[in-house]
């Protein structure tokens, strides 16, 4: 205690009149290097705003609407780049058959053979389809016309995404208008879902007459089983045959011509 008081008295006599810090400072220690003032770090750069692609659906609608006939529609489709499937496909698959027969068949999407040839239903499923059509007096060379919802093959034959289908649908709708059919046949659940907007399974939809508006009139529409499905499930060919018989009766009622090669 006496030492502390003696030290304070010595400081006062030496002229110290105020405390400058709460902690004693060792004046003999080496001084730390003075750090230079640093400029404030710039804020991290923001990621560039995503590039908004052109409105593929809007472009498809405008391009399809401008077509006044099937040849113009095909040219517009082949020039269209708004569907990602086109980048991996070999060919644009537009249609096959005779539009004047007024019977329109709509499938799902091209497969490997269709992508290679550039026409719908040319593989094993197409061969079965031709036999199915012949059974009711239809033939793509004389009185049947065939297209797909999707015009480019999805990789590995997967189902098309909603975006891919949306880019193709304006062309399909215009295709139906220009083909002006008397009867529409939908092949498979994917075609039914995108054409008539019903998500029910094909087993529930098949065999039931629906309607599709073309211009100012309603066109009878029959969903049925896809030929590729029938190749996997041949026992269900009987169901498809019933649907085709209903189509044949509708053709007779409408006075549509049937091929002379019809199977009885």
pLDDT of residue 50: 36
E-strand stretches of the chain: 96-97, 103-107, 145-148, 183-187, 210-214, 217-224
pLDDT of residue 38: 53
| Token pair 């046949």 in the structure block, residue | 185
Give the CATH number of domain 58-254; options: 3.40.50.720, 3.40.50.300, 1.10.10.60, 3.40.470.10. Answer: 3.40.470.10
Is the pLDDT reported for residue 4 higher than 60? no
User: Minimum mean pLDDT among 3-17, 99-113, 130-144, 202-216: which range?
Assistant: 3-17
Contacts of 56 (CB under 8 A, 6+ apart): 82, 83, 163, 166, 167
What tokens appear for 201 in the block?
A: 């399974």
Q: What is the pLDDT of residues 49-89, one digit of tens each?
A: 333 345 899 999 999 999 999 999 999 999 999 999 999 99
Mean pLDDT of the chain: 86
At 100, give phi and psi (nearest 5°): -70, -15
The H or E element spanning position 6 is helix 2-13
pLDDT of residue 199: 86
pLDDT of residue 238: 97
What tokens appear for 246 in the block?
A: 């209903």
Q: What is the DSSP letter of 140?
A: T
Residue 133's pLDDT band, with cuts at 50, 70 and 90, is very high
Is the pLDDT reported for residue 134 higher than 50? yes
What tokens appear for 104 in the block?
A: 């329109």
Q: Give me the mean pLDDT over the 136-153 stretch.
A: 97
Q: Give me the mean pLDDT over the 20-31 stretch.
A: 55
- Can you give the pTM of this predicted structure? 0.78
Q: What is the pLDDT of residues 27-56, one digit of tens each?
A: 555 554 545 545 455 545 444 433 334 589
pLDDT of residue 261: 53
């Amino acid at each position: 205690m006496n030492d502390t008081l003696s030290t304070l008295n010595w400081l006062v006599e030496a002229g110290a009149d105020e405390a400058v810090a709460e902690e004693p400072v060792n004046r003999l220690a080496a001084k730390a290097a003075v750090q230079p003032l640093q400029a404030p770090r710039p804020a991290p750069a923001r990621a560039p705003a995503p590039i908004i692609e052109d409105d593929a659906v809007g472009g498809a609608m405008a391009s399809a609407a401008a077509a006044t006939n099937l040849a113009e529609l095909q040219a517009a489709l082949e020039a269209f780049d708004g569907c990602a499937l086109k980048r991996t496909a070999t060919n644009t698959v537009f249609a096959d058959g005779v539009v004047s027969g007024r019977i329109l068949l709509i499938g799902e999407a091209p497969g490997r053979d269709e992508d290679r040839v550039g026409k719908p239903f040319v593989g094993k499923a197409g061969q079965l389809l031709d036999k199915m059509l012949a059974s009711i007096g239809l033939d793509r060379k004389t009185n049947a016309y065939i297209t797909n919802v999707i015009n480019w093959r999805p990789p590995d034959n997967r189902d098309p995404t909603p975006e891919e289908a949306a880019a193709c649908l304006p062309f399909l709708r215009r295709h139906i208008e220009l083909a002006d059919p008397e009867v529409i046949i939908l092949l498979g659940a994917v075609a039914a879902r995108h054409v008539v907007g019903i998500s029910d399974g094909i087993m529930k939809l098949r065999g039931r007459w629906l309607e599709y508006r073309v211009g100012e009139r309603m066109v009878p529409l029959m969903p049925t089983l896809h030929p590729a499905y029938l190749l996997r499930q041949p026992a269900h060919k009987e169901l498809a045959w019933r649907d085709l018989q209903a189509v044949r009766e509708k053709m007779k009622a409408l006075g549509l011509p049937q091929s002379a090669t019809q199977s009885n």
